[in-house]
Chain A
């Protein structure tokens, strides 16, 4: 299939919700995207009109006392984070590529949580309400603006990872939490990935409130990063205790600590031209997957072994490996070919949802 790069083609860039509705009504095939930071997902296939949401930007409602905000889909995450931080709050799902320019809507549509989602949850746990333009151009609202709500079907959660298939997100309401006062990270070198997985299992079974827990293979075996967040006065004691549980570890703090996790989130470790694939798994599946991967594939097991980030130059091979191991993956960065790899759970249910919400295929089918 031929590809139109939205960065070179001029996409539609409506500046209001009615303009989004009109754009949807006027085009047979629409490909919604945000700032285009998830390159593999942002590119529109041939025949589809790119629809950029970057013109639909800004915080609409924010009362710090409510611990919720409502913003337009094209709002850059950095803008949201800055407003929240001024009020001592943050989005605990730790979204990826914020500094690269990622938007709120694109982040939700891609399901792009970062390593810090381990502590309190991902986008699915913090999204409260959505407004989107459906395939007929109507504006649909679902969920609510309060932190607790069980009315109607939970379409906000469906939109997390929806990849633009069901509608054009135009406005989102999210829950936020108090911003941790301080962070500290322990880095521990281990002799093998086996030891790394064992450390993850040991740590996550204990009542330790870890913020992030990442593991990656290294020349010497493996490296584990454990991040703590919370009240500054309690951190030294908690770090010491953690070091005791781990039997060692080097403390990283201050600017170096922040830079370490920023690099993880901003995906600066992915070589140009390679594909970055998100693979949900569990700690016990890590070693099985490791057996199949090549030494040159760059791997990072994040969120306490609940997700593998794999940078590869050979996407087709990774697809075959995931199929063989019963896993699934989503390509976020890379050439815009097939973005969903391996075995898709719930594929037939997803087809039903797609048929119900976009019967004529106005939006992409992924």
Chain B
């Protein structure tokens, strides 16, 4: 391997921020899809946007593939490094450049942590709406690249719906500015195309985010059911009523067990399914919505219904839900998180079919999902130390993804394709569709060096490796959603 590019990088980066020793590189080998592991040739830790731009230009000049990484919380292997390539770690590029409560925008660098945007906006009574479960550590750059979701997409949309402008360096080194400060645009929605492009166009450096006033009132209901079907029917009834809740979430028995074991959520005992319905908005409107929601839930066959009394109570209800994924780690040494989406009317069928597959494969599957969006998160439990177990789990995950597409849904609701689901892209899209995406990619990255091996099927074999849960997950800092 030529090292001319490393020499070039060393002219810009001091040794402490240009890592090449195996021990230094080890922490960057995986993201939250821990089954995959690749050691990059080097890691750089830029502190300024200019340093990122310089690194990209050096990579382009020397044909070196690069991967941008935030906090490495991707569940689809989005920030898995490339062997012999460069990893650009953006955590120190984390300034909140400008926060303007009157214009309701925050301009932040790519490495800024999701929750820190809300923290910075909080004194003004505002917040950043997208709330992936890893929001304590995940970065805005990663949220942008994979169009992250969260528990409140039903009403508020995904990350993309909250991004107004992006300054980015394309893979060939050109710096572009897309969008602006306004909610509206005149001309093609270039920001919309960039968000969710999985790092294949280049690296977002600075992002203009839209802030919202914090909802004045929340009404959060927890309902327990003796069957998953009843919980699913309740969701359909709520949706059909014309109410628009901020969140509609379901957990099944195995997921509830896990949440209880992990955070002692104090959920109603013996539930086969739990439903969380949350209304939010202007106080008078929410109270009226709540008055209409109550009889719907009361008639839904729940054997226990709790209504959050205050904010602390509400947080307790959410704590169990938000920690459910990492909690499953208590039930099994390893698990895969699926992210398929089905039309809401097919939820019941999909769950029945997943149950059948679980039995057929002899593998336990826990279900936690954004019921309002039809976004399923079956957690496939396996033991990576058993020979062939991972492959079997992956095969089961693949069957679930095919099922979602057959029902008219999607292979990913909010985690992106990454490395994990790239072989399934052709299940959802035809040859022309994928070729169009290739052309767009090459228009920004003619050498295909930016996040090579992601999203498109068949690009560069990543190394499979059994690693167990992410260290941050073990520490309870992040969770998978």
Instruction: Indicate which residue in A148, A181, A280, A346 contacts B413 across the interface (CB closer than 8 Å).
Output: A148
User: What is the minimal beta-carbon distance from B323 to any residue of chain A, in angstroms?
Assistant: 22
Does the CB pair A121–B125 fall under 8 Å?
A: no
Complex Cα distance, B373 from A352, in Å, reads 34
User: Hey, which chain B residues are within 8 Å of A54, CB to CB?
Assistant: none
Complex Cα distance, B176 from A341, in Å, reads 19
Given A201-B102, A346-B177, A124 contacting B282 (CB threshold 8 A): no
Segment of B18-26, B285-293, B312-320 in the binding face: B285-293
Does the CB pair A346–B176 fall under 8 Å?
A: yes
User: Hey, which chain A residues are within 8 Å of B415, CB to CB?
Assistant: 150
Complex Cα distance, B185 from A117, in Å, reads 13
Chain A interface bracket (under 10, 10 to 19, 20 to 34, 35 or more) = 35 or more
Instruction: Determine which residue in A124, A237, A328, A355 has the highest number of CB atoms from chain B within 10 A of its CB, and name it.
Output: A124
- Who on chain B is nearest to A366 by CB? B187
User: What is the minimal beta-carbon distance from A145 to any residue of chain B, in angstroms?
Assistant: 6
Complex Cα distance, B187 from A330, in Å, reads 7
User: What is the minimal beta-carbon distance from B293 to any residue of chain A, in angstroms?
Assistant: 11
Does the CB pair B102–A153 fall under 8 Å?
A: no
Q: Is A67 an interface residue (CB 8 A)?
A: yes
Count of A-B contacts with CB under 8 A?
Answer: 280
Given A163-B187, A353-B188, A151 contacting B425 (CB threshold 8 A): yes
Given A146-B409, A160-B188, A153 contacting B440 (CB threshold 8 A): yes
Q: Is A10 an interface residue (CB 8 A)?
A: no
Q: Is A255 an interface residue (CB 8 A)?
A: no
Segment of A74-82, A94-102, A133-141 in the binding face: A133-141
User: Hey, which chain A residues are within 8 Å of B188, CB to CB?
Assistant: 158-163, 165-166, 350, 353
> B72-127: which have CB < 8 Å to A?
101-105, 124-126
> A204-221: which have CB < 8 Å to B?
204-209
Does the CB pair A234–B284 fall under 8 Å?
A: yes
Does the CB pair A345–B179 fall under 8 Å?
A: yes
Complex Cα distance, B281 from A134, in Å, reads 42
User: Hey, which chain B residues are within 8 Å of A248, CB to CB?
Assistant: none
Does the CB pair B429–A205 fall under 8 Å?
A: no
User: Hey, which chain B residues are within 8 Å of A237, CB to CB?
Assistant: 284
Does the CB pair A155–B436 fall under 8 Å?
A: yes
- Who on chain B is nearest to A121 by CB? B161
User: What is the minimal beta-carbon distance from B289 to any residue of chain A, in angstroms?
Assistant: 7
Q: Is A364 an interface residue (CB 8 A)?
A: no
Does the CB pair B281–A209 fall under 8 Å?
A: yes
Given A121-B161, A134-B432, A356-B439, A154 contacting B195 (CB threshold 8 A): yes
List the 6 closest pairs (A to B, CB-CB), nearest first.
Answer: A157-B192, A330-B186, A356-B443, A207-B216, A280-B182, A178-B242
Known contacts A121-B161, A207-B213; 10 further A-B pairs (Cβ under 8 A): A67-B344, A147-B344, A148-B413, A149-B410, A152-B437, A206-B213, A231-B289, A281-B182, A330-B187, A346-B177
16 A-B contact pairs sorted by A residue (CB < 8 Å): A65-B239, A88-B242, A111-B187, A122-B183, A122-B184, A144-B409, A146-B343, A150-B158, A150-B417, A162-B189, A178-B243, A206-B125, A207-B214, A230-B282, A231-B292, A344-B187
